[in-house]
Amino acid sequence: MQQLSEVKNHSVSVAPMMDWTDRHCRYFHRLLSRHALLYTEMVTTGALIHGDVPRHLDFNPEEHPVALQLGGSEPADLARAAKLGERWGYEEINLNCGCPSERVQRGAFGACLMAEPQLVADGVKAMKDAVSIPVTVKHRIGIDRGESYDFVRDFVGTVSQAGCDLFIVHARNAWLQGLSPKENREIPPLKPEWVLRLKLDFPGLKFVINGGITSSDQIAQHLGELDGVMVGREAYHRPWFLSEWDSLMDHPSAPLDMDQVEAQMVDYMGAQAKLGVGWFAVSRHILGLRHGQKGARRWRQVWSDHRLKDRPAAEVALLAQEALKL
């Protein structure tokens, strides 16, 4: 397991993304970057308190360092869930105060919590009292069409008084009505300068920026100004991007080979098959691996072909390799 000091100093991370950053995705991402911090999908406190805990929290040892993102608003429930996360071996607990989906709003958490900073602070304090690992918050810069820097400044100020010293800021508003989650990632304008203002106003806190980051040049620029960078959809759709990150974090390693990464994932699929997990549940995460490469479309078609689901992953891999050569 990584030491907590290493996690606290992480520079580049992959964002928690519902239905995407499951344990199979994180295993794949870890092959591409040895040092990026990886996050789970958001797990609700109710799912942990009333549901199948191993199903929600089990992960591969290779994924370290890995953080658990929680969704919830009741301090006592957050504390119980955070304790489970610590017991399972996660290195950080993150509270979701940024998701704008209607399903999350109905649960009274996500971005709507930004309107109740004292409730967020109470939840953070309850979690910090319950665990010894870091507790962080991921949030937006505002909700709906309000364009007030004072709103996010006051939110950070209130929550930091509960002991949170690291904030992951998606640098755009969350519109709680009228936009889909996808539109909420694209339509509200990005304001990265507001994250820089937060850093100036709270020099004793750490700030990680999220939103619209698609290149290593952007990562390098942000790392020169802030404490970290979180990348979302670009990391999923163009995963080879992760292979550049360790050097950006001053952890250069031997060059990766795309074929070797694919072969390691095929081995992983074989191991998962012995546990009853079909390769199709894993292969969906690697479809962007050969983005931009000649033959990538035909390669993706093989790994997406439902008609091959009953064949061993190793056989499907051979067909995919042949498709690349056509």
The answer to the question of residue 20 being in a domain is yes
- The pLDDT assigned to 100 comes to 83
The answer to the question of residue 253 being in a domain is no
Q: Is 164 a catalytic residue?
A: no
Last residue of a domain, one of 201, 228, 248: 248
Q: What is the pTM of this model?
A: 0.94
pLDDT tens readout for residues 100-139: 876 666 666 788 999 999 999 999 999 999 999 999 999 9
Angle at 16 between CA 10 and CA 18, to 5 degrees: 170
The answer to the question of residue 18 being in a domain is yes
Last residue of a domain, one of 248, 276, 309: 248
**Residue 144, Cβ neighbours under 10 Å: how many?**
17
**Domain check: are 229 and 267 in the same one?**
no
**Residue 31, Cβ neighbours under 10 Å: how many?**
19
**Domain check: are 278 and 157 in the same one?**
no
Last residue of a domain, one of 230, 248, 266: 248
Which helix (DSSP H) or strand (DSSP E) does residue 76 occupy? helix 75-88
In the chain, % helix, strand, coil (3-state, to 5) comes to 50, 15, 35
**Domain check: are 80 and 112 in the same one?**
yes
CA-to-CA distance for 141 and 150, rounded, in angstroms?
Answer: 10
Structural domain range at position 85: 4-248
**Domain check: are 241 and 267 in the same one?**
no
Q: What is the dihedral of CA 207, 191, 240, 272, to 10 degrees?
A: 60
Domain count, the chain: 2
pLDDT tier, 176 (very low <50, low <70, confident <90, very high otherwise): confident
Q: What is the mean pLDDT of the segment spanning 143-149? A: 91
CA-to-CA distance for 177 and 211, rounded, in angstroms?
Answer: 20
* Burial class for 58, CB neighbours closer than 10 Å (0-12, 13-18, 19+): exposed
**Domain check: are 103 and 159 in the same one?**
yes
Q: Are 93 and 85 in contact (CB under 8 A)?
A: yes
CATH of the domain at 87: 3.20.20.70
**Domain check: are 227 and 286 in the same one?**
no
**Domain check: are 178 and 197 in the same one?**
yes
CA-to-CA distance for 97 and 142, rounded, in angstroms?
Answer: 10
**Domain check: are 293 and 321 in the same one?**
yes
Question: φ and ψ at 63, to 5 degrees?
Answer: -75, -20
Q: Are 314 and 263 in contact (CB under 8 A)?
A: no
**Domain check: are 121 and 234 in the same one?**
yes
The answer to the question of residue 282 being in a domain is yes
Active-site pick, 25, 97, 99, 112: 99
**Domain check: are 304 and 189 in the same one?**
no
pLDDT tens readout for residues 36-91: 999 999 999 999 999 999 999 999 999 999 999 999 999 999 999 999 999 999 99
- The pLDDT assigned to 326 comes to 84
**Domain check: are 209 and 263 in the same one?**
no
**Domain check: are 53 and 185 in the same one?**
yes
pLDDT tens readout for residues 231-260: 999 999 999 999 999 999 988 877 789 999
Q: Kindly report the average pLDDT of the chain as a whole number.
A: 93
CA-to-CA distance for 135 and 124, rounded, in angstroms?
Answer: 7
Closest by Cα among 96, 40, 95, 99 to 65 = 40
